[in-house]
Amino acid sequence: MLKLEALRVKIAGLEVLRGVCFEVPDQAVVALVGRNGAGKTTTLRAIMGLVAPEAGRILLDGQDLAAIAPHRRAHCGVGYAPENRQLVPEFTAEDNVLLPCLAMGLGRQETRRRLELVYAVVPELAALRKRRAAGLSGGQGKIVALARALAAGTRLVLLDEPFEGLAPALAASYAAALHRLRRATPAVAMLVTESSPALLASVADLVLYVERGAIGREPAASKRS
């Protein structure tokens, strides 16, 4: 599905990723675990085209993403939920979720189909639907950002530190949503970052450890049966 080959990224002259190599197999959920500053977020941002790689390749089903403009990546079925949510405060929660559909100019039927799927996977969204994003709590915002990523991500969903700062109850419902997503659309692959592997243990097929801008302790990466 997704393959990163010797990816190098510099930010303000500092080498943040130094040859990241890994693969997200078809239909798999991969957890990217590492401490703050290890390069998890930058990896996801590079996949979305928000930072330009110095060297290396990112392949989506064999196609080099370098040839695809950043805004076209959503059109390729890649959804992204950044750690800091990045919602439009003036929009309602639902309008935020619908933004990728609107941006891609999806037809009414396709939009409704995706929205139904999102509501099925993230039922918590129903209660927030008409609320403006400006009035949401941080945790609620994360739920909305997840829903938005699902609206775009028909092939691959990237989630950046989804559990960071979530209250235990919300974290549990977030994890439940990931499980429901697995069941509802098994074809969608996921790449999820987190600073502690425990939170993702029940969802992830594969756990990778990032350390100082590279995949470390690869042999130790645990494969779940």
Partner 1 sequence: MLTPIVIDGLSDAALLFLVAVGLTMVFGVLRVVNIAHGSFFALGAYAAITLGLWAGALGLSQALSYGALVLSALLVAALFGPLTERLCLRATYGRGEIAQMLVTFGIFLILDDVQKLVFGVQERQNDAPLSLLGVCNLGGIVYPVYQIALVGLAVVVAFSLRWFLRGTRAGKLVLSVVHDAEMARFSGIDTAKVSVAAFTFGVFLAALGGSLASPITGAAPGMSAEATILAFAVAAIGGLGRVEGAGLAALIVGLGRAFAVYYAPAFDRATPYLVMFAVLLFRPQGLLGVVETRRL
Nearer to partner 1, 102 or 167 (CB): 102
Closest CB 100 distance from partner 1, rounded Å? 5
At residue 8, φ and ψ (nearest 5 deg) are -120, 130
Nearer to partner 1, 192 or 207 (CB): 192
Closest CB 13 distance from partner 1, rounded Å? 14
Nearer to partner 1, 70 or 186 (CB): 70
On the 0-12 / 13-18 / 19+ scale of CB atoms within 10 A, 136 is buried
Nearer to partner 1, 63 or 222 (CB): 63
Structure tokens at 180: 């429901």
Dihedral angle at the C-alpha atoms of 120, 108, 76, 210, nearest 10 degrees? -30
Judge contact between 137 and 168, C-beta under 8 A.
no
Closest CB 86 distance from partner 1, rounded Å? 4
Closest CB 79 distance from partner 1, rounded Å? 9
Nearer to partner 1, 4 or 145 (CB): 145
Nearer to partner 1, 107 or 219 (CB): 107
Residues at the site binding partner 1, with contacts judged by CB under 8 A = 48-50, 69-75, 80, 82, 84, 86-91, 95, 99-100, 102-104, 148, 152
Closest CB 15 distance from partner 1, rounded Å? 17
Closest CB 71 distance from partner 1, rounded Å? 5
